[in-house]
């Protein structure tokens, strides 16, 4: 009788989860492009587009963006459903929490589809669009964290400072993204730059950027200075630092050109989504207990030699 290898099953689900993360990030970027190009209502009906699966006769850039956004969402939903089904079939080989988490993610992606329908039916209300983005970023964070948990063995419990700084960094980036969404969906930034009125959301977005920058940088530099396993995460930490630098540049540049370059605004949302993915991955990473203790012991020995 053929015996299944639990590690192979877990690795397969980890790879599937990683692909879903990429698809979700692409979905957020395409959604950003759809909003920036004012294509949210390019398909006047839902779930079809002009009553067709492929509206060839009405196809233009705006229709394509909205149609492709829905198509990507459909395939993401299929992949998440498959992951949930596989976690049920092989639950005896997997952690007990996995089917529950996959079930929650499946419910969230179904709710995301409903919110997508409401954005069309209710003609793009700001609160619905913000909720749509919040749920998208939540899905990215959950899937990115799940990927790390599937690939990494059950590791040691990490210090409180790591959990606090990593998760706080993740939370403040999501909050800043929502402030940016509110600013964009109420056309507050454009009105402020053109007439210097209705500047509330642009001012909030600018002011909140500084404490958020300090929180994320505190996490990055505290991790590096702590040494051991935490410093070994430098590839992730370097990416977070680089993304943060690019994000600040894109934000300043976008305002200086009057928000008139769609690609810059789409890139701004894409970088925010990537920050969510990497910060979630870092917050869910956990080392093998033996390797973690070895790393910390090596660090302590090195410090003793330096002290001597």
Q: Which tens digits make up the pLDDT trace of 69-113?
A: 888 899 999 999 999 999 999 988 888 899 999 999 999 999 998
Say whether both 161 and 142 belong to one domain.
no
Burial of residue 46 (number of CB atoms within 10 Å: 0-12, 13-18, 19+): middle
* Host domain of residue 198: 155-308
Q: How many residues does the chain have?
A: 308
What is the pLDDT averaged over residues 121-127? 72
Q: Kindly state the tokens that stand for 110.
A: 């179904």
Domain boundary among 151, 177, 209: 151
Do 126 and 189 fall within a single domain?
A: no
Rank 23-32, 155-164, 274-283 by mean pLDDT and report only the highest: 274-283
Is residue 305 domain-shared with residue 166, that is, in the same domain? yes
State yes or no: pLDDT of 137 exceeds 90: yes
User: Average per-residue pLDDT in the chain?
Assistant: 85
Q: Which of 4-8, 112-116, 119-123, 210-214 has the highest mean pLDDT?
A: 210-214
**Total structural domains in the chain?**
2
Question: What single-letter DSSP state applies at residue 96?
Answer: T
Residues 269 and 186 occupy one common structural domain: yes
Nearest to 241 by CA among 274, 286, 283: 274
- My answer on whether 185 and 114 are in the same domain is no
Q: Are residues 32 and 171 in the same domain?
A: no
Short-list 197, 161, 204, 190, CA closest to 265? 190
CA–CA gap between residue 9 and residue 146 (Å, rounded): 14
Looking at 99, 118, 151, the residue that finishes a domain is: 151
Q: Do 280 and 252 reside in the same domain of the chain?
A: yes
Tell me how far apart the terminal alpha carbons of the chain are, to the nearest angstrom: 61
Choose the final residue of a domain: 151, 179, 202.
Answer: 151
Radius of gyration of the chain (CA): 22
Considering the domain architecture, whether residues 245 and 123 belong to the same structural domain is answered as no
Rounded to whole angstroms, the Cα distance separating 27 from 136 reads 8
**Which residues sit opposite 277 in a β-bridge?**
none
Looking at the structure, tell me whether residues 176 and 73 fall in a common domain: no
Strand partners, 52: 49
130 and 255 in a common domain = no
- Tell whether 22 and 133 lie within a shared domain: yes
Residues 172 and 97 in one domain: no
Total-model pTM: 0.87
């Amino acid at each position: 009788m053929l015996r299944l290898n639990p590690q192979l099953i877990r690795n397969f689900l980890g790879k599937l989860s990683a692909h879903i993360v990429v698809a979700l990030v692409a979905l957020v970027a395409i959604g950003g492009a759809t909003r920036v190009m004012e294509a949210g209502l390019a398909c006047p009906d839902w779930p079809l587009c002009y009553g067709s699966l492929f509206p060839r006769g009405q196809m233009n850039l705006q229709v394509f963006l909205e149609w492709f956004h829905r198509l990507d969402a459909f395939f993401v939903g299929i992949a998440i459903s498959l992951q949930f089904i596989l976690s049920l079939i092989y639950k005896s080989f997997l952690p007990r929490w996995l089917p529950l988490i996959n079930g929650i993610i499946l419910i969230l992606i179904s709710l995301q589809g409903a919110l997508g329908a409401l954005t069309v039916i209710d003609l793009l209300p700001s609160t619905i669009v913000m909720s749509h983005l919040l749920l998208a970023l939540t899905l990215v964070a959950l899937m990115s964290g799940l990927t790390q948990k599937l690939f990494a063995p059950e590791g040691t419990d990490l210090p409180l400072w790591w959990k606090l700084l990593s998760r706080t960094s993740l939370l403040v980036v999501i909050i800043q993204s929502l402030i940016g969404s509110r600013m964009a969906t109420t056309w507050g930034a454009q009105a402020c730059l053109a007439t210097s009125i209705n500047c509330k959301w642009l001012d909030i977005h600018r002011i909140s950027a500084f404490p958020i920058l300090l929180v994320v940088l505190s996490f990055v530099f505290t991790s590096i200075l702590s040494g051991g396993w935490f410093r070994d995460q430098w590839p992730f930490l370097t990416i977070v630092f680089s993304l943060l630098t690019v994000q600040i540049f894109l934000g300043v540049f976008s305002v200086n050109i009057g928000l008139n370059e769609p690609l810059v605004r789409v890139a701004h949302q894409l970088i925010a989504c990537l920050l969510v993915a990497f910060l979630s991955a870092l917050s869910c990473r956990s080392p093998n207990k033996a390797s973690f203790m070895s790393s910390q012991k090596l660090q302590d020995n090195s410090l003793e030699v330096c002290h001597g």
